[in-house]
Amino acid sequence: MEEKIKLSVQLPRVFASLADVSEEALPGEIEKLLALELVRQKALTYTRAAELLAISQAEFISYLSAHRVSIFRFAPDELRDEVEA
């Protein structure tokens, strides 16, 4: 199990309702959003992100999809070759 750090963050209460989560679920949502952004930046694979979040890959892929983040990573030339194939 990965070592954890504890953070204390004060956010406007409205963030929970805007994120459509309960106040109790907000820390978990923030953790997922950080993992999502790290995947988007290619600093973390979706497989590793799911592992760190202790959720299934399928659940995290679904979360990524809901936030319009693809798990597929093609360089422009690779994508062109795939489309032309």
Which pTM does this prediction carry? 0.79
**pLDDT tens-place string over residues 36-61:** 999 999 899 999 999 999 999 999 99
pLDDT at 66: 94
76: pLDDT strictly greater than 90: no
Parse the chain into domains and list their residue ranges.
Answer: 14-84
- How far apart, in Å, are the Cα atoms of 17 and each of 9, 20, 25, 36, 44? 17, 5, 11, 20, 28
pLDDT at 11: 93
In whole angstroms, give the CA distance from residue 2 to residue 62.
Answer: 23
**pLDDT tens-place string over residues 6-39:** 999 999 999 999 999 999 999 999 999 999 999 9
